[in-house]
Amino acid sequence: MPKTKARISISLDGYMAGPKQSEASPLGEGGEALHEWAFKQAAFKEMHDLGDGGECGVSDEIVRASLANLGAVVMGRNMFGPVRGDWPDEDWKGWWGDDPPFHCPVYVLTHHPRDPFELDGGNSFHFVTEGIEKAVAEAKEAADDQDVTVGGGAATLQQAIAAGLLDEILVTQVPILLGGGERLFDGLAAGAAKVDLVDVVQDAELLHLTYRFG
């Protein structure tokens, strides 16, 4: 059965991005420290064409598994880019250049309609104005028998969890204090989702936790 899933890194205080996000600092102040571990993994380097020589341990296996079998991506508008409000033009094509690392259709949640477009490497971007249910439904159809990833940010993931659309999330906890920013598990009502802890992998200071939503 194809799954709708997510993979995210959080700090000890629960933040998946630091405070004061901006175009110059899309992960917020201190937010890069959440992802340094991922940038080192061989699977991540391959995905982003960052060369050879990455780490090949248990964290690499986890990143590799999270990237396998992906048929479509859903993301919030802030993850697609820094442009807010109406699209002034069609110039902004995402943070990732001519050949984004997804190689599948990407569904961007926005209140502002925009025509879809294609980039190299099997990447296409589609703009969904009817909410998270519609975006996930379109992504699942496009993904066919493969998995859908909800990329973020926090608000998009919270909407997906609250709506019962997410089957599984892999949370990598990095033992740092960010002190502010966007929390992954925030604004969800008591009992908003039934959660099972299904896998725990420790790799030195990292903790990879897989939760399944029921």
Note the residues at the interface with a copy of itself (CB under 8 A).
Answer: 12-14, 18, 29-30, 175-180, 183, 185-186, 188-193, 195-197, 200, 202, 205, 207, 209, 211
Which structure tokens are listed for 195?
Answer: 């959660």
Does the N-terminal peptide bond of residue 153 adopt cis geometry, omega within 30 degrees of 0? yes
Please report where in the chains the tokens 């997510």 appear, as a residue: 6
Rounded to 5 degrees, φ, ψ at 7 are -135, 130
At residue 6, the 3 state secondary structure works out as strand
- State which residue, 1 or 190, has the beta carbon closest to a copy of itself: 190
Rounded to 5 degrees, φ, ψ at 45 are -60, -40
User: Least CB distance from residue 160 to a copy of itself, whole Å?
Assistant: 14
Residue 93: count of CB within 10 angstroms of its CB: 16
* Rounded CA separation 80/92 (Å): 9
Tell me 146's DSSP state: S
User: Least CB distance from residue 195 to a copy of itself, whole Å?
Assistant: 4
- State which residue, 140 or 183, has the beta carbon closest to a copy of itself: 183
User: Least CB distance from residue 186 to a copy of itself, whole Å?
Assistant: 7
User: Least CB distance from residue 29 to a copy of itself, whole Å?
Assistant: 7
Q: Which helix (H) or strand (E) holds 139?
A: helix 132-143
- State which residue, 54 or 181, has the beta carbon closest to a copy of itself: 181
- State which residue, 83 or 162, has the beta carbon closest to a copy of itself: 162
- State which residue, 141 or 196, has the beta carbon closest to a copy of itself: 196
* Rounded CA separation 194/214 (Å): 5
User: Least CB distance from residue 58 to a copy of itself, whole Å?
Assistant: 13
Q: Which helix (H) or strand (E) holds 5?
A: strand 4-11
User: Least CB distance from residue 7 to a copy of itself, whole Å?
Assistant: 16
- State which residue, 73 or 171, has the beta carbon closest to a copy of itself: 171
- Report yes or no: 145 and 71 within 8 Å, Cβ to Cβ: yes
